[in-house]
Amino acid sequence: MTLYIKTKNIPQYWIWAVVLVYSLLMSEYFNTINREISSINGVSTNYSLYQYITTFNVFITVLSAFVVWLISSFLFHVFSILLGGAAEFKDFVKYSGLVYVIPAVGFTVCLYLIESVEFTKENFEVLFKSNTILISIRWIINISSSLCFILLIPIIKYLYKLNWIKAIGALAIPIGSIYLLGQFFSNYVL
C-alpha cells in the first residue's frame, strides 16, 4: 500500500519519458555499433541513404520499445488477474514503466564503455566473444534487463495482493510461454 501512495502522484508523462529515454539510449547504442562496423567495412556513414536508415532504425527502436512495454505489461497484468490478483492496468503500467530506469542506466554505461572498444577488421564474432569490454557490456545489458523483470515481482505481489509464488508465476508464465513459442517456431516452422 505504501508503494502505491508514494508513486500515486507521479505524472503519467514521466513514465512515458522514462521509456522514451530508455529506447533512445538503446537505439544510440545499436547505432554506435553499426557505425563502427560500417566504417571498418569501408561503408561511408555520411551519405544520405545511411542517414535515412539510421533515422528509420531510431524510429523503429523507439516504437518497438513502447509496444513491447505495453504488451508485456498487459500480459503480466492479465496473468496477475488470472492468478487471483486485483489491480487496475493503469497502476501497473506506471510501475512497469518506472523500472525501465535500470536498463536505461545500463545502456548509458554501455554507451560510455563502447567508446573505448577498438574495432578491428577481424571476424566480428570472435571480437564480440573475446574482447573483455564487449563481454562486460553484454553482462551489463543482460543484468540490467533482468533486474527490470525481477523488480516487477514485488510490484506485482504488493499491487495485486498476491503471494510470492503467484507473483513469480505472473511473470514467468508469459515470459516462458513466449520463449517456448519462439523455440517452437525457430526449430519446427522456420
Q: What is the pLDDT of residues 124-183, one digit of tens each?
A: 777 777 778 888 999 999 999 999 999 999 999 999 999 999 999 999 999 999 999 999
Q: How many CB atoms lie within 10 A of CB 87?
A: 19
Output the pLDDT for position 54: 78
Output the pLDDT for position 7: 64
pLDDT confidence tier of residue 6, bands split at 50, 70 and 90: low
| Averaged confidence pLDDT in the chain | 86
Whether residue 40 is predicted with pLDDT greater than 90 in this model: the reply is: no
Output the pLDDT for position 13: 87
Place of cell 564503455: 113
Output the pLDDT for position 120: 73
DSSP state of 188: I
Output the pLDDT for position 144: 93
The full set of domain ranges for the chain reads 2-189
**Averaged over 43-66, what is the pLDDT?**
81
| Contact of 31 with 119, CB cutoff 8 Å | no
In this structure, the chain runs to a length of 190
HSE-CB at 40 with a 13 A cutoff on CA atoms is 14
What is the dihedral sign for C-alpha 72, 78, 84, 86?
A: positive
pLDDT in tens, 109-119: 999 998 887 77
Where is average pLDDT lowest: 4-8, 16-20, 106-110, 113-117? Answer: 4-8
pLDDT confidence tier of residue 2, bands split at 50, 70 and 90: low
CA distances for 157 relative to 1, 171, 176, 189, angstroms? 11, 11, 19, 37
